[in-house]
Amino acid sequence: MTSFGGRTLASGAASAVPLLVHGRRRVKEGSIAEFKERFSSLAASSTKPGSGVHAMFAFADPTNPLAFWHIFWSAGPSAFSHDASQQESLAACYESTEEDPDCLNCYGGWSEGVAADAAANPSVRYRFHAPMAGFIKADDAGVIPDGPPLIGFTYRHVKPGQMDALATSFQTVCDLWRAKVPGILGASVSRDPEHADRVHDIRLFANHDAYVKHADKSDDALMAAMGVWFANYDTSRPFTGEIYAPDPND
């Protein structure tokens, strides 16, 4: 057995307890330029070597010019303090309020203390996910400079009665990924808090090479394990979510 953020998983590889935060934030009309300037400045100062903050991105929502998808990846639960401080720095730019909050999903090694800290900012709703299987590395394994990274947050439906089988088979795949592909920095699956048959599936690749190798068709053991895992998904219902990659073909 192994633990992930203090919770027990079904198998194998040692798991670190970093934190991934992802979600869509609305920016006030007339504040886009100020938001971009403040966010860029904060990202530049926050992601220096040794800071523990590995990535900080804001991607324009293609459907809404006043919305941006946010991603933070940090080495541990202390990263939440950084997230809280950036909320204060950028608070004047955001549209969300206590009555109409934005929502951010937290994956990985959050603790009860981190969850309690979230209540300090009532204009943002945090959903804390308990991972069913997977891993997220505590550092970038020295391969981020070979980036840019590829990051995916997808939402997938599971066949009836197959949730436990999904978790077990996905951990088998993750153990192989962790052992064979250093550039796979994170892979995790957790239950959707609002849909009993849906999961959040996360992928964090250091670069395009890692993305290609995560489905290496020449690796018979990996392909067999992925087949067992994938058979648990209800593929009659499409995957949805957000993919951040320099090449849309990915």
Q: What is the pLDDT along the chain (250 residues), one digit of tens a residue?
A: 232 333 333 333 334 356 788 999 999 999 999 999 999 988 888 887 777 788 889 999 999 999 999 998 877 766 555 555 556 778 889 999 999 999 999 887 666 666 666 667 788 888 888 889 998 887 655 555 566 889 999 999 999 999 999 999 999 999 999 999 989 999 999 999 899 999 999 999 988 899 999 999 999 999 999 999 999 999 999 999 999 988 777 6
Q: Are 170 and 229 in contact (CB under 8 A)?
A: yes
Instruction: Tell me the pTM.
Output: 0.84
**DSSP for residue 130:** -
One-letter identity of residue 119: A
DSSP string, 68-117: EEEEEEESSTTHHHHHHHHHHHHGGGB---SSS-EEEEEEES--HHHHHH
203 beta partners: 152, 187
The DSSP H or E segment spanning 41 is helix 32-46
